Amino acid sequence: MPGPSVPLWERPELRVAAGTTLRPGGFSLTDRAAEAIGITPGWRVLDVGCGLGVTVARLRSRYGAEAWGVEPSSGQIAGAEGVPGLIRARGDHLPFRSRSFDALFCECVFSLFDDPAQGLAEFYRVLRPGGFLVLADLFAQDGCVSGEASCAARARPLVEVREQLEEHGFSLLLAEDHSRHLRDLAARLIWAGGGEDRGCDRRLGYFLMIARQGETNHAG
C-alpha cells in the first residue's frame, strides 16, 4: 500500500471510495454547475486539475463542449485512458491565450494552490469577458491553515474564498453548501481503508461557487 507521503488523490483507496472523479459528489456538482451556467455545444471549457480527465470527457459527451484539461501530475494523465485535450501544466501558469474560454471548472483543487492569487489571476486571464468560473472545494470553519499538501489542511473559510474572488474581478452568482457529499466520501474512505490528515483537527465542509468574470479590464 502506498505510504502516507503519497497524496490522497493518487492513492487507490480514493479511487475505490470516490470513483474516477476523485472528489466528493462525483459528477453531481459538475452537472449542477454546467446546467446553471447553460453550457451548450461549442462552448470552450477548461478543467483545471483535471486528474484522470473524466470531467473533460463528460463535458464533451454530455454537453457538447470543446473541453480541455490541465493537470500537473504525469501519473494522472497517464491514467486518463485516451481522453483528448489533456495537457500537463499547472493551474497557476495556464498555457493558453487570454480570453480563450467560456467557462473554467476547478473542482477539489483550488485549495491546493501554493499561490491562490496567481491562480485566480490566470483564471481571469483565460476567461472571456463575462465567462464563468466554477469552484467546488473543501472549506473550513476556522482560519487554521497548514503547509501540508492536502485539501483538508489548506481549506479556508468560505468568506475568505469569496473575498479572493471579488478581489480578482469575479462577481459571485451562486454559493451552495454541499457538505453531505464530503461526509459520504469520508465514510466510504473509512471502509476503503484510507483517510486524510485533517490538518489541525478541523471542521470541514464542501462548497460549490459559480462566479462571473468582470466585463471590464482587471489589473489585479
Q: Beta strands 170-177 and 204-213: pairing type?
A: antiparallel
**d(C-alpha 187, C-alpha 180), whole Å:** 11
User: Position of cell 459527451?
Assistant: 61
What type of residue sits at position 27?
F
What DSSP element (H or E) covers 162?
A: helix 158-167
Pairing of strands 66-70, 44-48: parallel
Residue 82 has a pLDDT of 85
Distance from C-alpha of 72 to C-alpha of 61, rounded to nearest angstrom: 24
- Asked whether the beta carbons of 72 and 50 are under 8 A apart, the reply is no
**82 vs 20, higher pLDDT:** 82
Q: Residue 142's pLDDT is what?
A: 61
pTM across the whole model: 0.83
Distance (Å, rounded) from C-alpha 205 to C-alpha 104? Answer: 22
User: What is the per-residue pLDDT across 116-151, written as a single tens digit (0 to 9) for each?
Assistant: 999 999 999 999 999 999 999 999 976 554 444 456
Q: What is the pLDDT of residue 202?
A: 55
Q: What is the pLDDT of residues 164-214, one digit of tens each?
A: 999 999 999 999 999 998 887 776 565 445 454 444 445 899 999 999 998
User: In angstroms, how far is CA 74 from the centroid of its own chain?
Assistant: 18
H/E element holding 136? Answer: strand 127-140
